[in-house]
Structure 1
Amino acid sequence: MVNFEQGRKSVDIIGDESLSQLTKIDSPEFEALLSIIARDARERRDTNSDYGPYKAMKLIRESRLGAILLPPELGGIGASIRELFYVVIRLAEADPDVAHILRSHYRRVEQLIREGTREEENKALLEKVADGAIFGSAFTEISTHNVGKLVFETTITEQDGNFRLNGTKYFTTGTLYSDFVNVTASGSDGEVISATIPTNREGVIIEDDWDGIGQRFTGSGTTRFQNVVVHKEEIVKVENKTSFNSFAQLYLHAVIAGILRSVETDASNLVKARKRTFSFAAAEVPKEDPQLLQVIGEISSIAFTAESLVLTAAEAIEKASKSAINGVIDYHLSHHASLLASQAKVIIDSLALKASTLLFDVGGASATKQSAHLDRHWRNIRTLASHNPTVYKARAIGDYIVNGKHLPLKEVYF
């Protein structure tokens, strides 16, 4: 039994499974990690447990999966951004909650690497990543009318040479399971600043109050900061060095692509296991029914399309990231990456929701049993797709194609 400290809450993890540090992605160790995570998700699901993926996060720390973007000299394996998104897809296939939990972490690590280790603060944070630490974030506030507008009620103020953090954040996905949280706030002069602090520091209150229809165990709820001490070296002035936010956008669709892998697997298993058929069926045996096979083929094609789009857009993000000079990405490469991520979203959202519904067309009424848990795919996809609504993306893409107007540039840092 392993004790897992998190945000002033202690939970017990039953099981003695452990993994050594990963040395490469395509390896038996990586497949073993995915297998354990998938089994843990399945067992919690089958018992209707309200217990989150703490075991999975423990193993991710042990295996240093969160450090794969780091170059070998910093303790990682030097994975490319495309390889990272492949990892996210595979993680989401095993447990979409786990993949989603790591969104802010991987985005933060990519940012730190791109900006370099010139500053001691960056180097210190990357060393924590190499040791297995996981980062969460606290950006969004319910009172914000425009999520791209940087006006925060959360503040970091100086009092007698000491700094104090006060405020409430929501949609703090992953912070419940993280070791550190990056908090964006307003400084004494109204400037935007951020601080990276331990999640178990006194005054940090992480509430497991996310009640969405999907991605239930991502901890995407409230984090409160009540007079939290912040050290001067933990504070940095926020600078927008990335023109667009394509990494964070595309990440969600990597999670959807992983879910679609599971939809394909579940659809295939349903047809293979079915014994009964219907009077209008085209074959006596369901697995030989050409209409059912056609539906399976469509689901499989949708899964392939989603994964291909995500990995293609990830290559554009990689190219843009590598163009950075002093952390600043080339505008045109950044815009192109954002365009591809937006186009991927418009297509993936529609097709993924269709695939999660087609799943029931091959399973019959028995597939709707709550014990089968097949509705989770639609709920998870619907929740993920609801981030940055598709209608806005499609309109912006059309305006660019027809009128040459670039995609909206918002000062979004999360």
Structure 2
Amino acid sequence: MNKIVSAPSLTTSEPLKIGSPELETLLNQIAEGASARERERVLPFEVIDLIRRARLGALRLPVSAGGAGSTIRDLFAFVIRLGEADANVAHILRNHFSVVERLVRTPKDEQSRDWQKAVAGGAIIGLATTELESPRVGNVTPGTTFTPDGNGDYLLNGTKYYSTGTLYSDYVLVRAADPSGATGATIIPIKREGIELVDDWDGLGQRLTATGTTHFHDVRVKRQEVVFDEPDSGYGVPYSNTFAQLFLTAVVAGIARATLRDATALIHSRKRTFYYAPTEIPTDDPLLQQTVGQIASGAFAAEAVVLAAAEALDVATDAFDAGAANAADAAHTAALLSAKAKIIADDFAIRGGSLLFDVGGASATKKVTNFDRHWRNARTLSSHNPTTYKARSIGQYEISGTPLPAKGFF
């Protein structure tokens, strides 16, 4: 397989600029080995290290804090391109950018500023929040605990599942509750004693995201490292999950682009065609041209709706940062557009992944081609928070004006 080579030009004093030649070089490097990595199950540590050295995790930090000062729209345009290059790598970074957006981009205390400095220097943050023992629908109180150690700090204990990207990260954000039931989060170094990472994700798609189990055994956490929930910050903000949801949809849009790339390359590489084909040369076949046209149109639509929703999320974020009176309405609009974008992007990406085999026929199903990864990856990502729930809530809003749920998967 192709080995990623760390180019000296990718070590930068500031994050690579979106659209820069250096970033294009990096994306091309990532894309070149993506299929082989997934087929042979080679975890992309080298790729994540390139991203760390290029300081791409600081894209949303202000320039004054050592970041690139990118808008959300710019970030998601990059995520789409990264998803096209390697959907696993793009997904790995989802939790990092979500944590940065909530707790790091605009720090409120010295501890937050320390986290911001770490991200500006290239650090990647993973996430460990999901548990399987939730006793009722809508319950968000974690079973993982912050237990006072008697000296003003805490011992962290519990088990989290679906810790996407944490295996590759420098820090991990963990959600837990103290004995009073107060919920909060901490960001701690991944190498701190008592943290156990298990790469046990066995999904049919997104196989290299290390979406596995994380155990915490009496992990020492300083009091200043804990941010307890407040109504107007972090996890207490209505529609605070919209960013994370749209991020997944951006990765799906990237998969649609990758499917188009492979479909056109496949037609050009074909040396023969179906015996009943209307033309001798595959590139001249009007049926294959039509199929590629369908894939291309779907990829365009998926990207367009993601970027439109990202623009709405920019408006909502700016309104929230400014304390504007319309911030709640803007947040709902962004959540609504993001939900609609998911339905469109998921449909086109999954359909495009299937149409790819109409371009190449049975030979395109050989394991060496690994073309099935596009359908598998899109189908897996779509299964995160099914479109049926999104469509139902959108319908409720359009018919009766019922707002979307303010927490959870919106």
Aligned to 1:180: 171
In structure 1, how many angstroms separate the alpha carbons of the residues matched to 2:64 and 2:349? 39
Q: 1:378 to 1:147 in 2, by over 3 A?
A: farther
Aligned to 1:126: 116
User: Aligned match of 2:350 in 350, 353, 358?
Assistant: 353
Aligned to 2:222: 231
Q: How does 1:233-312 map to 2 (within 5 A)?
A: 233-239=224-230, 240-244=235-239, 245-312=241-308
Shift of 1:49: 2.7
User: Aligned match of 1:220 in 195, 211, 219?
Assistant: 211
| Letter of the 1:372 counterpart | T
Contact 2:172 2:188 in 1 (8 A): yes
In structure 1, how many angstroms separate the alpha carbons of the residues matched to 2:274 and 2:409? 53
| Letter of the 2:381 counterpart | L
Q: 1:180 to 1:326 in 2, by over 3 A?
A: farther
TM-score, scaled relative to structure 2: 0.93
Aligned to 1:138: 128
Aligned to 1:155: 145
Q: Does structure 1 residue 365 correspond to structure 2 residue 362?
A: yes
Q: Does the residue aligned with 1:370 lie in a helix, a strand or coil?
A: coil
User: Aligned match of 2:160 in 161, 169, 177?
Assistant: 169
Shift of 1:412: 7.3
| Letter of the 2:222 counterpart | H
More deviation, 59-68/347-356: 347-356
In structure 1, how many angstroms separate the alpha carbons of the residues matched to 2:258 and 2:409? 32
In structure 1, how many angstroms separate the alpha carbons of the residues matched to 2:95 and 2:123? 13
Q: 1:234 to 1:147 in 2, by over 3 A?
A: farther
More deviation, 328-337/290-299: 328-337
Q: 1:289 to 1:147 in 2, by over 3 A?
A: farther
Aligned to 1:68: 59
| Letter of the 1:305 counterpart | A
In structure 2, how many angstroms separate the alpha carbons of the residues matched to 1:369 and 1:66? 36
Shift of 1:23: 4.3
In structure 1, how many angstroms separate the alpha carbons of the residues matched to 2:360 and 2:274? 12
In structure 1, how many angstroms separate the alpha carbons of the residues matched to 2:247 and 2:360? 30
Aligned to 1:4: none
What is the identity percentage for the equivalent residue pairs of Structure 1 and Structure 2? 48
Q: Does the residue aligned with 1:128 lie in a helix, a strand or coil?
A: helix
User: Aligned match of 2:7 in 7, 17, 40?
Assistant: 17
In structure 2, how many angstroms separate the alpha carbons of the residues matched to 1:352 and 1:146? 33
Q: Does the residue aligned with 2:341 lie in a helix, a strand or coil?
A: helix
Summarize deviations over 1:155-185 as a string: whole Å, max 9, x none: 0110221410000000110111110001000
In structure 1, how many angstroms separate the alpha carbons of the residues matched to 2:272 and 2:108? 66
| Letter of the 1:117 counterpart | P
In structure 1, how many angstroms separate the alpha carbons of the residues matched to 2:23 and 2:321? 33
Shift of 1:330: 1.5
Task: Give the ranges of 4+ consecutive aligned residues of structure 1 lying more than 3 Å apart after TM superposition.
Answer: 13-18, 145-148, 325-329
In structure 1, how many angstroms separate the alpha carbons of the residues matched to 2:274 and 2:356? 17
In structure 1, how many angstroms separate the alpha carbons of the residues matched to 2:138 and 2:265? 43
Q: 1:263 to 1:206 in 2, by over 3 A?
A: same
Q: Does the residue aligned with 1:343 lie in a helix, a strand or coil?
A: helix
More deviation, 155-164/319-328: 319-328
In structure 2, how many angstroms separate the alpha carbons of the residues matched to 1:148 and 1:261? 35
Q: Does the residue aligned with 2:252 lie in a helix, a strand or coil?
A: helix
| Letter of the 1:170 counterpart | Y
Aligned to 1:375: 372
Shift of 1:113: 5.3
Aligned to 1:32: 25
Q: Does the residue aligned with 1:150 lie in a helix, a strand or coil?
A: coil
Summarize deviations over 1:27-53 as a string: whole Å, max 9, x none: 1110111122122324424xx432211
| Letter of the 1:128 counterpart | A
| Letter of the 1:32 counterpart | T
Q: 1:293 to 1:137 in 2, by over 3 A?
A: same
Aligned to 2:81: 90
More deviation, 169-178/32-41: 32-41
Contact 1:149 1:410 in 2 (8 A): no
Q: 1:146 to 1:98 in 2, by over 3 A?
A: farther
In structure 1, how many angstroms separate the alpha carbons of the residues matched to 2:286 and 2:404? 44
Q: Which runs of 5+ in 2 are unaligned?
A: none
Q: Does the residue aligned with 1:251 lie in a helix, a strand or coil?
A: helix
More deviation, 23-32/162-171: 23-32
Shift of 1:147: 7.1
Q: Does structure 1 residue 44 correspond to structure 2 residue 27?
A: no
| Letter of the 1:365 counterpart | A
Q: 1:224 to 1:378 in 2, by over 3 A?
A: same
Contact 1:138 1:170 in 2 (8 A): yes
In structure 2, how many angstroms separate the alpha carbons of the residues matched to 1:104 and 1:146? 25
Q: Does structure 1 residue 392 correspond to structure 2 residue 389?
A: yes
RMSD between superposed Cα atoms in Å: 1.9
Q: Does structure 1 residue 55 correspond to structure 2 residue 46?
A: yes
In structure 2, how many angstroms separate the alpha carbons of the residues matched to 1:84 and 1:145? 36
